[in-house]
């Protein structure tokens, strides 16, 4: 991508401990001078790792990108319970709180308990979370010491590996669906073991196709007006362009006439497709022009037509 091209796509940030996800977004806005910026899935201030940030028209793809599965590496402290389900909260119970000399659960017991979280389950989100209760964020109610009546939500855990056990501290790796709370896992694991538990550290290793190998350290995204052109040029080389996003969705290429119809949101006819219609079931199809640029996302319609649902290309005046 040329340095004078629009800065848009997804920038994967390696978030350190401390800043909120919104802090990271604000940092990217200041460094790039672009207002249309948004993250693709909250990381708690204590958490580190992959935080994809959408810039420009890529923000319109957020509903498709945020729902991707995630992979985490976690440190869980057993024997202690906090009101936030992580180490930053106030301690409210746990085996070590009652008896500092309590015996830690065995590695076999921990492994057996973790196995119970695999597959399709329902998870009760932490009371200190961004879930809404009657339109109000749960964490706001918790801070006001008001009742937080959250409902269990369906989640899926594809992998849950126990990496190490050191007395009351365990390390594990989790691959889960979007919407899964590792803090809730730490709390629920402690409940199953009968000793309590909370999350001590968390690193998000992957978010869909975005990995730590793709990530730019937040320290490299600085608010320096004098060096803004240099920063933009550097970030441009790390940016994942619109055309490379959502590779898991099938793609069709359109003729020049089809590209004009796609830009206006008009239905695409079989004659507008250079490759012919796709067969099979798919939630959406990427529509590309003759240069491979993403024009829109479309859904199959009757008669081999495609109906644009999300138009990304700008209208070209001829």
Report pTM.
0.87
| Active site amino acids | 44
| 9-67+210-244: in CATH 3.60.70.12 | no
- Phi–psi pair at 297, nearest 5 degrees: -105, 135
Cα separation, 106 vs 146, in Å, equals 37
Q: What is the pLDDT of residue 73?
A: 98
What stretch(es) of the chain map to CATH 2.30.130.10? 251-311
Domain spanning 70-207, CATH architecture: 2-Layer Sandwich (3.30)
Residues with pLDDT less than 50, the chain: 1-3, 133, 138, 141, 316-318
pLDDT tens digits for 30-85?
A: 888 889 999 999 999 999 999 999 999 999 999 999 999 999 999 999 999 999 99
Please state which CATH class domain 251-311 belongs to: mainly beta
In whole angstroms, what separates CA 294 from the centre of its chain? 22
What stretch(es) of the chain map to CATH 3.30.2350.10? 9-67+210-244, 70-207
């Amino acid at each position: 991508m040329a340095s004078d091209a629009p800065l848009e796509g997804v920038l994967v940030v390696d978030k350190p401990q401390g800043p909120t996800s919104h802090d990271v977004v604000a940092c990217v806005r200041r460094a790039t001078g672009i207002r249309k910026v948004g993250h693709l899935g909250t990381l708690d201030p204590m958490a580190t790792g992959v935080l994809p940030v959408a810039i420009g028209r890529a923000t319109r793809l957020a509903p498709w990108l945020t729902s991707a599965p995630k992979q985490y590496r976690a440190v869980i402290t057993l024997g202690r319970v906090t009101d936030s389900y992580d180490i930053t909260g106030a301690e409210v119970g746990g085996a070590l709180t009652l008896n500092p000399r309590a015996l830690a659960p065995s590695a076999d017991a921990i492994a057996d308990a973790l196995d119970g979280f695999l597959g399709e389950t329902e998870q009760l989100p932490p009371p200190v979370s961004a879930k809404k209760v009657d339109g109000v964020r749960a964490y706001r109610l918790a801070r006001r010491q008001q009742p937080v009546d959250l409902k269990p939500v369906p989640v899926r855990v594809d992998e849950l590996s126990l990496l190490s056990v050191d007395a009351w501290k365990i390390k594990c790796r989790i691959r889960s669906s979007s919407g899964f709370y590792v803090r809730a896992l730490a709390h629920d694991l402690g409940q199953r073991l009968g000793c309590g538990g909370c999350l001590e550290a968390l690193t998000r290793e992957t978010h869909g196709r975005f990995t730590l190998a793709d990530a730019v350290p937040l320290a490299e995204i600085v608010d320096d007006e004098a060096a803004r052109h240099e920063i933009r040029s550097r970030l441009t080389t790390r940016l994942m362009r619109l055309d490379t996003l959502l590779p898991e969705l099938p793609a069709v290429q359109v003729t020049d006439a089809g590209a004009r119809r796609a830009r206006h949101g008009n239905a695409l006819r079989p004659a507008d497709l250079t490759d012919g219609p796709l067969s099979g079931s798919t939630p959406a199809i990427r529509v590309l022009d003759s240069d491979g640029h993403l024009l829109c996302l479309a859904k199959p319609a009757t008669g081999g037509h495609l109906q644009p649902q999300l138009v990304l290309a700008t209208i070209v005046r001829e």
